[in-house]
Structure 1
Amino acid sequence: MDDTPKFGENDRMPATRIETRRGWIGTRRLDVIEAVQRALLIGLKLPEDDRCIRLLEYEHDAMIVPKGRGPSYTVIEITLFSGRSLDAKRRLYAALAGELSAFDVPARDIKTILVEVPPENWGLRGLPASEINLGYKIDV
């Protein structure tokens, strides 16, 4: 019998932060969050209920963007366990571009940053995640 603590439904990873300038999203905040969630499911093959996404909108003078980028320039930073394959990362990048295109965000206006953390450096319920049965594969 496996006595490894099981991953609970209230624990979430990866942790995703969407940062952009205020104005272009309007009342579609939840729609944008759900689009990023769908891309995470496709790219990283996460369970449907694995959710931890934050959306931050900045005033125009609080975010400098690269020259030639539009008003919808978006940075998506995903902190996740290390171990995903390059193919999984490619799927994720393509899925993010596809999902955000529905909001007229061109692929050139999307910057995705993956911050990979070893499971022993991620604490859940007072334990290192390396000691918890996550219930899904990381090395996809």
Structure 2
Amino acid sequence: MIVVYGIKENLNPIKAKLSDVIQSCLNSEIGLPEDKRAHRFIPMAKEDFYYPDGRSNAYTVIEINMMEGRTVETKKALIKSLFSTIECELGISPIDVEITIKEQPAHCWGFRDMTGDEAKDLKYQVNV
């Protein structure tokens, strides 16, 4: 699951395109299928969104929640792909993008009436 935060005046107009970019990077770097898109956008009022000096109103935070199993190299490739593709497709400088990968053991995930470690029918690999 992906959660994206940004100032609403900047985030709302680009949500659909940003979702496409994120999903494309997830597909190419970790093999997540298109039909596994689970993105949540949290547009915030400027007065509720504090960010570091040197950033613009385009500052965007992307949290990637996923089951443990991807290699360090795979996760780094995903982060770098997101930076470059977001800049190329949306014109948002990497200085204005923050990406955090949060991993949990498979048994901490619940979907389709089971835990992640019980799922035997995933259409993608977790250990890549």
Normalising by structure 2, report the TM-score.
0.91
Q: Distance in 2 between matches of 1:126 and 1:32?
A: 30
User: Root-mean-square deviation (CA), in Å?
Assistant: 1.3
**Rg larger in 1 or in 2?**
1
- Return the match for 1:32 from 7, 10, 18: 18
Q: Distance in 1 between matches of 2:102 and 2:85?
A: 21
Stretches of structure 1 that go unaligned for 5 or more consecutive residues are 1-14
Q: Structure 1 residue 49: deviation in Å?
A: 1.6
CA displacement 1:98-140 (0-9 Å, x = unmatched): 2211212111111111110111111112211111121221111
Pairwise mapping of residues 30-109 of structure 1 onto structure 2 (< 5 A)? 30-101=16-87, 102-109=89-96
Q: Which has the higher helix share?
A: 2
Where does residue 11 of structure 1 map in the other structure?
none
Where does residue 110 of structure 1 map in the other structure?
97
Stretches of structure 2 that go unaligned for 5 or more consecutive residues are none
Determine what percentage of the aligned residue pairs are the same residue.
Answer: 25
Structure 1 segments, 4+ long, off by >6 Å, are none
Matched pairs, number: 126
For the 8 Å contact 1:81–1:117, the answer to whether it is kept is yes
Normalising by structure 1, report the TM-score.
0.83
CA displacement 1:17-53 (0-9 Å, x = unmatched): 0111122245332111111111111222212221100
